[in-house]
A and B are shown apart, each in its own frame.
Chain A
Amino acid sequence: MTNEYAVILVDSTSHALRIEKLLGNQGLTCKLIPVPRHLSSDCGVCVRIQKQDVITAQALVNEHKIVFQSIEVI
């Protein structure tokens, strides 16, 4: 386990939920959290993942053609 995280920024809560379900089913640790203020003023949520999972998560999300804005290390 690590305390270093990244977040996947998305358009909507529905996108976040879709990604959370996809990654969770693949055994990745993830959680929906409020978007950190320094990344966006969006009032919605984003998907927090472990930094070590960024490449795997990105590949999965792309594979399932889920649109996301960006992945940021926090």
Chain B
Amino acid sequence: MSIEAARIVYAVREVIAASFGAPDPLQVIFGLNITDGLNLALHGLLKPGDHVVTSSMEHNAIMRPLNDLQQQGIAYTRVACQADGTLDPALVEQAIQPNTKLIALNHASNVCGTLLPVREVGRIARQKGLLFLVDTAQSAGAVPINMDTDYIDLLAFTGHKSLYGPMGTGGLVIGGRVDSSTLSTLRQGGTGSRSEREMQPDFCPDRFESGTPNAVGLAGLLAALEWLQEQGVAQIQAHKEVLTQALLEGLGNLAGVIIYGPRDASLQTATVGFNIQGLEPSTVGLRLDEEYNILCRVGLHCAPAAHHTLGTFPDGCVRFGLSAFNTMDDVQQAVAAVRELTKDVR
């Protein structure tokens, strides 16, 4: 039983490594979720005196660890993004200091879908001898990612979004430029290996995976990844791009609707953030649910920094997210529902 479970968990490691162009499946570390993976990267890598460059579109999964680390003598610079969430890589380069160790970047905004220039920033990190951490919560499975050609050293991922797996699956992929034996562990315990020793092992993945893994969740993720491979990330991406463009244009044609982000499906994921002038996001969300059976997410989306950048703090916005299973009919119904809500304002 436990060997079979371990076999499944190992199979997920191989598929995850292959999906992201990671060199070694044993460097795929599973944790509680992507937040756990980001915490491992940030708390594990950074030491007092280090400096980090990040952006103003980050989720709290990066900002809260960074602010916690700040109290331990680790500084960070938050590079300002444009009002649509886009980032100029040159500003990242300018923010690098002599003690900068890491650039930490969100690949795609969880508020408005804006894609950040990962490859360009990664190239800068590589040229400057820095490590590059990417939060792929919104992008893994949604757009192609390759740790080699995107110059990513630490890739945090979640199974439960565009990889179509269960909640509670995620972690960190450690690239070849990171000496994992120098990364501090978040927790220690039994690993099923080196049981004669009372010290944490120094090899991956055991060093960072103490205790019983979420084998059931990871089995679900394996099934999801196999499905995703059959469908093809590029095919799903093309399908969602068509729907996203239609949603952007449909909402954009409505008087009183403000859309955040680039408003161009080729420059963002299938996440669309908007507001109806004169209506609180919470009201819009509740009415979409109760009157139109359309689900969205409203508020600040655990990303106050991004909302400050977009000018939507503290009220937040309404967020639609499209998946492989959505259809053009869904998009048209959503636009029609928002149109009805805008009529009530005037």
- How many angstroms from the CA of A40 to the CA of B196 in the assembled complex? 9
B193 an interface residue at 8 Å Cβ cutoff?
Answer: yes
Chain A interface residue bracket vs B: 10 to 19
Which stretch, B159-167, B198-206, B253-261, B330-338, touches the partner chain A? B198-206
Quick one: which of B3, B7, B193, B196 contacts A12, CB cutoff 8 A?
A: B193
Report the interface size for chain B: residues with CB under 8 A from the other chain.
18
Distance of A18 Cα from B191 Cα, bound (Å): 17
A11 and B3 CA atoms in complex are apart in Å by 15
Q: Report A's interface with B, CB cutoff 8 A.
A: 11-15, 17-18, 21, 32, 40-45, 67
Q: Give the complex CA separation of A18 and B309 in angstroms.
A: 46
Answer whether A13 and B25 are a contact pair too, CB < 8 Å, given A42-B193, A42-B194, A44-B192: no
CB pair A11–B203 under 8 Å, yes or no, is yes
Q: Is A11 in contact with B195, judged by CB distance below 8 angstroms?
A: no
Q: Which of A11, A32, A43, A67 contacts B201 (CB 8 A)?
A: A11
Residue of B with least CB distance to A17: B10
> Is B13 an interface residue when CB atoms closer than 8 A count as contact?
yes
- Which one of A13, A18, A21 has the greatest number of beta carbons of chain B within 10 Å? A13
Q: How far is the CB of A30 from chain B (nearest CB, A)?
A: 13
Note all chain A residues with C-beta closer than 8 A to B201. 11-12
Could you say which residues of chain A place their CB within 8 Å of the CB of B25?
14, 18
Are A41 and B3 in touch, CB under 8 angstroms? no
How many angstroms between the C-alpha atoms of A12 and B192 in the bound complex? Answer: 7
Which of A13, A17, A18, A67 touches B193 (beta carbons < 8 Å)? A13
Tell me if B178 is interfacial: C-beta within 8 Å of chain A: no
Nearest chain A residue, comparing its CB with the CB of B202: A11
Contact of A43 with B195 in the complex, beta carbons under 8 Å? yes
Q: Is the CB of A43 within 8 A of B192?
A: yes
CB <8 Å contact, B196 and A15: no
* Complex interface: chain B residues within 8 A of A41 (CB): 195-196
Interface residues in chain B, defined as those with a beta carbon under 8 Å from any beta carbon in chain A: 3, 6-7, 9-10, 13, 25-26, 191-196, 201, 203, 205-206
Chain B residues whose CB sits within 8 angstroms of the CB of A15 once the complex forms = 26
A contact residues around B194 at 8 Å (CB):
11, 42
> For B206, what are the chain A residues with a Cβ–Cβ distance below 8 Å?
11-12, 14
B12 smallest CB distance to A (angstroms) = 11
Nearest CB on A from B175, distance (A): 16
A45 touches B203 (CB 8 A): no
* Pairs of residues from A and B, 3 with the lowest C-beta to C-beta distance, nearest first: A43-B195, A17-B10, A12-B193
Q: How far is the CB of A45 from chain B (nearest CB, A)?
A: 7
Among B10, B13, B191, B201, chain A packs the most CB atoms within 10 A around the CB of B10
Beyond A11-B201, A67-B203, whether A45 also contacts B195 by CB under 8 A is no
**Shortest Cβ distance from B208 into chain A, in angstroms?**
12
* Neighbour of A17 across the interface among B6, B195, B196, B203, CB < 8 A: B6
Q: What are 30 A-B residue pairs whose CB atoms fall within 8 Å in the complex?
A: A11-B193, A11-B203, A12-B191, A12-B192, A12-B193, A12-B201, A12-B203, A12-B206, A13-B3, A13-B6, A13-B193, A14-B10, A14-B25, A14-B26, A14-B205, A14-B206, A15-B26, A17-B6, A17-B7, A17-B10, A18-B10, A40-B196, A41-B195, A42-B195, A42-B196, A43-B193, A44-B193, A44-B195, A45-B3, A67-B203
Bound-complex Cα distance A18 to B14 (A): 9
Residue of A nearest to B9 (CB): A14
Q: What residues of A have a CB within 8 angstroms of the CB of B191 in the complex?
A: 12
Contacts of B193 in A (CB 8 A): 11-13, 42-44
- List of A residues within 8 angstroms of B6 by Cβ: 13-14, 17
